[in-house]
Each structure stands twice: as structure tokens, then as C-alpha cells.
Amino acid sequence: MDGLTSAQVSGAKTNDVPRRSSRSLGAIIRANVFTLFNLVIGVLWALVLIFGEWQDGLFGLVIVANALIGIVQELRAKRTLDKLAVINEAPVTVRRDGRDQEIPPRQVVLGDLILLGPGDRLLVDGEVVESDGLEIDESLLTGEADPVHKLPGDEVLSGSFAVAGSGAFVATKVGIDAYAVRLAEEASRFHLARSELRDGVTNFIKYITWLVIPIGSLLIYSQLRNSADFGTAITGAVAGIVTMIPEGLVLMTSIAFAVGVVRLGRRSCLVQELPAIEGLARVDVLCLDKTGTLTADGMDLGEVLPLSDGRPIHDALAALANVDHRPNATAKAIQSRYPSAADGWAAVDVVPFSSARKWSGADFGPHGVWLLGAPDVLLDATADGYERAAELASTGTRVLALCRTDSLNGLNSLNGLNGLNGVDGLASASSAAAAGKAEAVALVTLKQRIRPDAHETLRYFAKQGVTVKVISGDNPDAVAAIATGLEIPDGHRAIDARTLPADDPAKLAELLDTHTVFGRVTPQQKRAFVGALQSRGHTVAMTGDGVNDVLALKDADLGIAMGAGSPATKAVAQVVLLDDKFSSLPHVVGEGRRVLANIERVSNLFLTKTFYAIALSLLTGVLGLMFPFAPRHSTLVNALTIGIPAFVLALAPTLERAKPGFVPRVLRFAVPAGLLCAGAVILSFWAAHSGTSTLIEDRTSATIALFLTTWWVLILITKPLTLGRIAMIGAMAGLFALALAIPFIRHFFALEPGDLSNDLTAVGISVVAAAGISVAVKVAGTLRP
């Protein structure tokens, strides 16, 4: 029991496991360089350099820009994630050279003696060598909800966590040999959670890739058949194919996620999975655990109200508070007044507190068996003090009942066969009290500290249309009093979770919709609440800090853990508020909304380009026309109407709540807008081409039409227009005008506005097309308010 010596530690195998919060530098470079887009664009770039002019190869710089920007942004996010992950890693208590010490998880070695208390997460496998009522929750590994009582010699597995009692185990498997790592190795490394946004972008790319092959082949054949100049034919075909590829869409999505991670990191919010930011935007129901979320950490001992004369109340409280080597918040509050147990109060049997039982107890031999827990669990409705406890709870005060019995055969009779396994023990304890075997000795009040930022934060969620549900293991009247004081809508609508139907999910979901406050909730019920709300179509976020919140956090669409919470809670949450500030939640939700709303805007831009390119390629291929512009023309227009604006829009603030149906909404905008842009370009080119003008002049007219129609699309997408956005839109128009006016730039981009009639015709066609785009997107219902 002295643990390893320093000499043994120096040569032992360490617990080296890859962090799931980020991937390696090599993986980041490979993911940003070796992409299908880069391969296609690289081949087309090489063709242009071989058969055309180098100015038409400017689009090749997109490969370099995309790769560099993507790598830099993800490296920034990686550094932020790794830094915050280190802060988030709860230290492990080990015993070495006979001394207890806290070390980082990665410094645990094979053979270490690891000490456990409530809330501690098991990071390695091992064998129990000491157990003082130790209960381990293995539900994340086995799906079994009930905690398992562990005795010396029993095996414990990584991925589980202690819920009650204390103990110690020897590490037998560490690092990648540990059970949880072998069971789900990818869960210990960087991975992307499910994302409707990312899935939608991926599907767009997949379908477009398949379209590029036949349409590109048709375009190449058409250009070769209609051009005596092989180089002109190749560059015309390349212009159509390159424009079809939304090369910046994936980049913009990655940048938006990465910047979101960095921004939240500055607020001490650890986002453990990048696409979790998307979940932030979709949340419409926020489930709050009262303790540690609405109330601050820690409590203060209030009054001790005797119910029976002649009993050693203070000695019993002191003994119960100091019986556990790893006291919980309640025990710490009592310890502040009773720092040590009186002589002769040594426990011979102990039942540690658990959220399932809602009480703890100990057998102090000649002094009898003493219990401390929820009055409505330990006391019968006719018992002394029951009504008084209810009155105190209705004011928001937390109340505990102190009970004594010497008529039971130790605590094992309270806990049922073999004891310590939750429901049976709870029922036995309640029935023992109801039968008069346990005497109500005193009521103990605890003062809870309301977070100073809770009121303003809850007001924000009310304004944003996010429904708040307060879920707690405490008395429902006490929770309702706090909720009402914080002005939570319908905070007075409280319900005792013990009265909820266990076998009727539909009825449970209905009650969850109609009530706001839930008390006496068990950990398994919290999990059921999340599933019931999700069954009604809600996107559920769950906050918590205790081990009783782990299962619900795991199942919620978004799990948010408090920084001062248990290691197990922080391990399963997707977002951890490291500074423990409840007021950070509005920033967390706001960042998610910014990312999703802006990526949808950017997707509209890129996919409008894709659809007009597909339509132009089909039209020119079928009609046998030359392609209406060269690669350098599309590079100029795309930079001014998509590339530069996309960077600005992707990072702009917004408060819009994300809605499902990202893909259909983008298609309803991009398809009609793209088709009308293509129609304006082909009409302008055909009108100019039927005259006596040169190919460069004809393509200049088409380029003018392309810019004006896509510039109008940019205006529609950018709404609502602010001064900053108006300035950006005006700057893009000014830069295009300069490209037409300055001889050097005009020559570089092969622009020759020499035929005024053709150019004015292109402008007129563009105005009509812009009006058509406005009507089309209004009919589709895609314009933002």
C-alpha cells in the first residue's frame, strides 16, 4: 500500500494515449494538401501551363492558398485545443514512496497505486486493493445502469468512474493497452462528431465530382471541335471545369470551425470536437442541473434543528461528515463547523452517499446507525419534521434529515442483499424509516450560493427562444423556489420525478414539454429525459458537473460540463467551461450560430458558381459555342464575388438560430440563381458573338454579365446590409471597375471593353437576370429577414 518507489517509476511503462482533441501535424498537412480538389485543379493547371498562357493559370494558386490557410487555421485550433486539453486534464492521485501525490494522467505508470473517490474517472485498467464502500459506474462500457460494488481483488476498467465511496487500485494496463482505448481507439484520438453541415458539404462535393467527369468530357470535345487553336480550346474547357468545382467551400467550412474553436478558447471554453460548434447553433432546449450550474460550488451550513431531545446530534453530524476520506460538497459544508469527529465515534460500517440513494450512513457501534439524506426519502409523511422540512424546502433552502436507528442489523440490512446497489437499498431505507425503525433526530439546512451571472444568462436564453429545463436531485419545491427567483419562465411548474411514468415514453415527453422544474431526479431519469425531449424533435443541450450527469451528457446532442466538475463529467462532454462561468454559455451558443449561419451564406455563394458553371458547360457543349470566358476571367470574378466576400462573411457575427434542412435551403437558392446567372452570361456572349467583335471583346461582355449577376447574388446573401457589408460590396464593384479601366490590369486579365453596344447589352441582360434571381429566391423562401 506504499505504492511504487521513484526508482520503479523511472523505468515503468507510461500512460501515453493520443489526445482526442486534435490530430498530428502530419495528419493536418495530409488532410489539407492531398485532396481530390487539389488533384483535379493541379491537373487542369498543368494543362493550362502547357497549352495556354500563364495568366490563365492563376487559379492554380488556389491550391497553395487553400492548403496554407487550412493548415494555419487548423494548427491555431490545434494549439488552442491542446493547451486547453492540458488544463482540462484532471490530476490523478497516486501513492508513491508512501506519499499521496497528484500527477498528470500521462505520468501514470504500470503498477502505480491509484486512489479513487466519488467522481474520479478511471484512466487505466487495474485491480482493486482497497475498498471503502467503493462503487463503480461501468455504464459507458457495458450499458448497465446500476453501479457495481467493488471489493479487493476485483477488476476495474478504464472508461468507468467512481460514483460513491473510496478505494485504491493497482494499474495493470496503461496507454493503448487499456480497455477503453482498445475498445474505441478512435474515441481517444481526433475525430469529427456527426455534422449535418459537413455531411451536406460532403454530399455536394460527391455529386459534383461525378458530374464533372461527363460534363467536362462534353465541354472538352465541344471546344476542340469549334476551335482551330488547340490552346484556346483547352483553356476554354479548363475554365468551365474549374468553375464547376467549389474549391473554397471545404476550406471555408474548416476555417469557420477552427476560428470558432480559437474564439471560444479565448473564453476558456474547451470544444473537444470541432463540429460540436454546429450543435451549439441548433440547441432549442437547455437542461440545467441546479447544483454547480445555477448555484455556485460549495454550500454553507445553516441551522441544525433538533427533532428529538437527548441525542448527540452534533457528535453524529461531525462523525458522518468526517467518515469519508473524499468528502462531497455536503460533507465539506458540515466539516466547516465540525472539523473532526469526537472520540469514540469510529465507523464500523459505512454506506457512502450516491445520487441514486440520496442518503449516506454509517454504523458507529455503541452509538447506533446514523443516516443523513433527503427528508422525503428517509422520512414517512407522518414522521416528525416531515412537514417542517417541506416548508423549508419551499423557500429554496436545501434540507437534510438526520436519523438514527439501533434496531437494524447494521447498514447491510438497510441496503438489501449484499447492499450498496441503489434501488433496493433506497427502498429498504425508506421502509425502515416508515416502519418506525429509524428515528428522525434533526433537520439540517444548507445555504446554496446562487451564481451572480445566472439571472442575466437565463434572460439571454429566454430572448433567444431556448427553453430551459431545470433538472435536479433536490426537493422539487426547493428547486422551484430557486427557478422562480431567477425568473425562469414557468419556474413554478415543478414536478417530483418519482411520480413520472417509467414505462410510457410518450407520456414522459409530454410532461417534459409542459413542466419546467424537475426534482428528485435519478441519473437514469436524466438520461431518459434527454431521450424523451429528442423524441419530440428537440435539439437538447445538457449541462452538469457531477457524476450523476454523465449518462445524460453523453446522450445529449450537446454535453456541456463545468470546469470544476468531476473528471468523468468533463471526459464525456463536448464542451467544457474551464473557468466555470455560467455566463460563458451565451457566447458558446452565439459562436455556434455564427458558424452555421455564415457557412450557409458562403455555401450559397460557392454553389451558385457551381450551378452556373454546370449550366454554361452543358449549353456550350450542346450548342457548339466557344466557352464564354477564359480561366483568368473566372479567377477575377470569383475572387471579387466569392473568394474575398466569403472570408468576410464566414467570420461575421450573427444571432440567427440554425434550423435543420441546410441542404434543401442551399439548393433552393443556388440552383435558380446559378441557372439565371448562366442564362445572362450565355445570352450576352451570344449577342456579342453574332456581330463583328473579336473573341476577347465577346468574352469581356460575358465577363461583365457574370460579374453583375453574381455581384447581385452576393448582395442578396449578405442581407441584412450593415455599413461594413455595404462597404465590402461597394469595394468589390470598385475593384472590378478598376480592372476594366486600368490598361495593365485590363491586359493582364484579357479584358477589352471595346464594343460599347455589346457591353451595354450585357448590362441590360444582367439587370433583368438580377430581377429574376430576386423573384426566384423569394418564391423559394430563402431570403433571410
Q: Which residues are identified as catalytic?
A: 289
Q: Which amino acid is at 544?
A: G
Question: How far is the CA of 302 from the CAs of 377, 722, 723, in angstroms?
Answer: 21, 54, 56
Name the residue among 576, 509, 521, 587 with its Cα closest to residue 544: 576
Cβ contacts of 85 within 8 Å, gap of 6 or more = 19, 21, 22, 270, 272
Sign of CA pseudo-dihedral 735, 737, 739, 741: negative
Q: What's the rounded Cα separation, in Å, for the pair 130 and 564? A: 27
**What's the rounded Cα separation, in Å, for the pair 296 and 210?**
56
Q: How many whole angstroms separate alpha carbon 322 and alpha carbon 251? A: 57
Closest CA to 86 of 22, 135, 30: 22
Question: 287 Cβ partners below 8 Å, 6+ apart?
Answer: 469, 471, 526, 529, 530, 533, 540, 541, 542, 543, 552, 556
Q: How far is the CA of 140 from the CAs of 149, 175, 184, 303, 544, in angstroms?
A: 16, 19, 12, 39, 17
Between CA 494 and CA 290 the distance in angstroms is: 13
Strand 359-363 and strand 349-351: the pairing is: antiparallel
What is the biggest distance separating any 2 CA atoms in the chain, rounded to whole angstroms? 114
Q: Are 636 and 711 in contact (CB under 8 A)?
A: no
Closest C-alpha among 296, 456, 352 to residue 132: 352
Bridge-based pairing state of the strands 540-544 and 558-562: parallel
Q: Which of 717, 60, 734, 149 has the alpha carbon at shortest distance from 417?
A: 149
Copy the grid coordinates of residue 128.
Answer: 482493486
Do the Cβ atoms of 662 and 200 come closer than 8 Å?
A: yes
Q: Can you state the angle between helices 631-638 and 723-741, rounded to 10 degrees?
A: 150
320 CB-contact burial (10 Å; exposed 0-12 / middle 13-18 / buried 19+): buried
Quick check: bond before 18 cis, omega within 30?
A: no
Contact at 8 Å (CB) between 247 and 37? Answer: yes
CA distance 585 to 543: 10
The full DSSP string for 161-186 is EEEEEEEEEEEEE-GGGSHHHHHTGG
Please report which residue ranges of 267-328 form alpha helices under DSSP H. 276-282, 313-321
DSSP, res 122: P
Q: Say if CB 77 and CB 70 are below 8 A apart.
A: no
- As a whole number of angstroms, the distance between CA 205 and CA 213 comes to 13
HSE, side-chain direction, 13 A CA sphere, residue 265:
23
681 close to 702: Cβ distance less than 8 angstroms? yes
